[in-house]
Structure 1
């Protein structure tokens, strides 16, 4: 059977666990991961803007957020899990 500490680890969503790790892991590791995420986000924005134009890019993002919300939520959960692994493996 699980003891209380093991049970606490199993409770929560990938998002809540990600934020727990963010707030307790090495600050420099977390800062670097967040900067990587921001760089990646901005690179994707530039690509979309280049291919769709500034107005088309905003419209496409809004449409995608509405039409594919389930897929986005699923990808978010996958990213939280991946990023947790990245942060924890560097934090050891």
Structure 2
């Protein structure tokens, strides 16, 4: 059973639990929104950094891994909240 307050589970764990149990149409809608935003960020990155996009991404992986992990967890929480809000 899903417990959103289970402190032993990461936001990623909780997100996937919700994805597996929530209304399929709501999950599809949220994932489409995530990919649309990702596509927009890819375009923005290409416009700002051109051929250096991969280099910049790798710099973030190595130099800002804590911030990257924190932001990733925030995105899981945000998406999870969107799905749960629409599922009510």
Q: CA deviation at 1:64?
A: 1.0
- Using the alignment, how far apart are the partners of 1:81 and 1:51 within structure 2? 28
Query: How many pairs were matched up?
Result: 85
CA offsets per residue over residues 4-44 of structure 1, 9 Å max, x none?
x7xx7213111100000001100000001101111101111
**Equivalent of 2:71, from 72, 75, 78?**
75
User: Normalising by structure 1, what TM-score?
Assistant: 0.85
Greater share of helix? 1
- Runs (4+) off by over 6 Å: none
CA RMSD of aligned residues (A): 1.3
Q: Which residue of 2 aligns with 1:31?
A: 28
- Max radius of gyration: which structure? 1
